[in-house]
Amino acid sequence: MKSNPNPNPFDEALTLEPLAEGRYQGHTHPAFANMVGPYGGVSAAQVLQAVLLHPQRLGDPVSLTVNFCAALADGPFQVRAKPVRTNRSTQHWTVSVCQGDDPVLTATALTALRRDTWSAEEHTAPAVPAPQAVPQRSGAMRVEWLQRYEMRLLDQALPSVWDGSDQGHSRTRLWVRDQPPRPLDFASLTALADVFTPRIWHRRARLVPLGTVSLTVYYHASAAQLAATGEGYLLGQAQGQGFGRGYFDQSAQLWNEGGTLLATTHQVVYFKE
């Protein structure tokens, strides 16, 4: 079989070389560079990838929580994924990412053999123009990782004037997909759950220094639903919830073009005055 002469940068970033059962060697990818270290979404995807590759894995992801203990430096890292408890249909995981002897990320995950049950969605997709009717975001990007996503903004990206004024709310919506396009899977859905700019910048109109401390993704879609979504756009909506005393939290939802809720996400962010 011939190798792909033009591999997708996301697939390159996901490459983990096995060292022993549950232990893998990874490397940061320049295509996902952020202001300090790599984009947190791709780091979360690499954490999940270690679980997905584990030979003892049971079922598909239900939730993933990643705690960012320190900035990941450019270069190699090691991931260790361990199933700490396996029940009849659920499996609980701990994951750590280290550079040298120091952990830079810790994580927990839940996978499960899921079955068809009654279902309903209270977070339904808002009525918005189709992605093809919304101009693609263009112009210079602050950081490299933004080039990896095609974004069609339904609301103003960020305040036009950075005057510290209260904007009243922080909710924004956008259509988004990988750039170049690739079929959606659990790893790429994980990274897409972190494409939303920090809500404090939208609410306060001030570029305060900040960093995500903890990110959780809840997976509502099956692997079949992700495969059916394919290379299509996802509709994302994000909003802050509480701001103060150096931290704020924000939540977001991701639907496919058919209106199926694929994932919800929540993160806590540190900010500095």
Report whether 270 contacts 247 (CB < 8 A). Answer: yes
At 273, is the pLDDT very low, low, confident or very high (cuts 50, 70, 90)? confident
Mean pLDDT, range 108-113, rounded to an integer: 98
Amino acid 5: pLDDT: 65
The phi and psi torsions of 48 (rounded to 5 degrees) equal -65, -35
- Residue 1: the pLDDT is 42
At 227-244, the pLDDT tens digits run 999 999 999 999 999 999
The pLDDT tens digits for 5-56 are 688 999 999 999 999 999 999 999 999 999 999 999 999 999 999 999 999 9
Q: Which domains does the chain have, with CATH numbers?
A: 9-113+135-271 (2.40.160.210)
Please compute, for residue 87, the number of CA atoms within 13 A of its CA located in the half-sphere on the CB side: 9
pTM for the model stands at 0.97
Sequence-distant contacts of 18-24: CB under 8 A, at least 24 apart: 18/53, 19/78, 21/54, 21/55, 21/56, 22/50, 22/54, 22/56, 22/80, 22/81, 22/82, 23/78, 23/79, 23/80, 24/50, 24/53, 24/78, 24/79, 24/80, 24/81
- Each residue of 142-160: pLDDT tens digit? 899 999 999 999 999 899 8
pLDDT in tens, 43-92: 999 999 999 999 999 999 999 999 999 999 999 999 999 999 999 999 99
- Residue 33 CA to residue 71 CA, distance in Å, equals 12
- pLDDT value at position 3? 52
pLDDT on residue 157:
86
CA-derived radius of gyration, the chain? 18
- The CA distance from 197 to 189, in Å, is 17
